[in-house]
Amino acid sequence: MVFVSKSVPASRSRFVRAAAVLLLALSVGACGSLDLFGKKDDVAPDEPPERLYNEGLYLLNQKKDPKEAVKKFEEVDRQHPYSEWARKSLIMSSYAYYESGSYEESVTAAKRYISLHPGSQDAAYAQFLIASSYYDEIPDITRDQSRTDKALEALDGVVRKYPGTEYAVSAKQKMQVARDQLAGKEMLTGRYYLERKEWTGAINRFKVVVTKYQTTRHVEEALMRLVEAYTALGITDEAQTAAAVLGHNFPDSEWYSHAYALVTKGGGQPAENKGSWISKAFKKVGLG
């Protein structure tokens, strides 16, 4: 109770009483039960982080509902931002986004995880999720392959940074597929130039395959197409070298049969010029 002296003016007495009521209301409001108007506080108390996390796992694994699972994991980060549960929930958010096909969101969450926890044991998995998100968006070979380039770069990051992990093994397999895709794109463009008799443009495309993607299934055809283009330009030495390298590395290839027929038709034989860029390109990786 507030006592007011008789000597205190009536207006000040009313102010003191009002202040006392206000302080009482604030103290009650601080307890989360009443606000200034005597109404119940609608702000829900924070849920235990382990409960939210486990609910997210249940939605992800049992209910097969990754979108709803993401909400639970992100709620952990919102309510308990500096906890160990928040760290675990962030990587699970990236995975749940990946499972739902929300690749951009998965990449964003994984990159955030790596920036916050670069030394964590799950950093390798976060990098793998980034690479896998790009990889799963590799487009048809007739379209722009910038996404494939990103996938290859991210996959290479997994192999370089985390070579002893299970993710590196899977990344290497996916890298081969991505390289094959990029080589296929170069072949598609090279064939287009061949059809238009734009020999130099065609050679430049097939050269990319031979120098960058010679471990892919497209390199045999690329060498044979080089024989075609160089023969059309009258550059016999390079045509014979391409045929010789093709025969040396892939003697049973049907493409070598075509290359051999083309070279001998003009009276020549497959013969390797050691100074040719073709010969040097294969020796560089030990195939020649």
- Asked whether the predicted pLDDT for residue 36 surpasses 70, the reply is no
Query: H or E element: which one contains 245?
Result: helix 236-249
Say how many domains are in the chain. 1
Query: H or E element: which one contains 264?
Result: helix 254-265
Residue 122, CB-side half-sphere exposure with 13 Å CA sphere: 21
Q: Report pTM.
A: 0.78
CA distance 138 to 46: 41
Q: What digits encode the pLDDT tens for the residues 104-132?
A: 999 999 999 999 999 999 999 999 999 99
- CATH number assigned to the domain comprising residue 149: 1.25.40.10
Is 183 domain-assigned? no
Is 103 domain-assigned? yes
Q: How far is CA 32 from CA 26, 29, 193, in A?
A: 10, 5, 74
Is 198 domain-assigned? no
Mean pLDDT, rounded, for 31-47: 53
Q: What digits encode the pLDDT tens for the residues 44-92?
A: 568 899 999 999 999 999 999 999 999 999 999 999 999 999 999 999 9
Is 219 domain-assigned? no
Tracing tokens 């991505």 back to the chain, one arrives at 178
CA distance 229 to 281: 18
Q: What digits encode the pLDDT tens for the residues 153-182?
A: 999 999 999 999 999 999 999 999 999 999
- CA dihedral sign, ordered 138, 144, 147, 152: positive
Q: Which residue has the higher pLDDT, 8 or 247?
A: 247
Is 200 domain-assigned? no
Is 169 domain-assigned? yes
Q: Structural domain of residue 109, as residue ranges? A: 50-176
- Asked whether the predicted pLDDT for residue 229 surpasses 60, the reply is yes
Is 251 domain-assigned? no
CA distance 272 to 191: 24
Is 227 domain-assigned? no
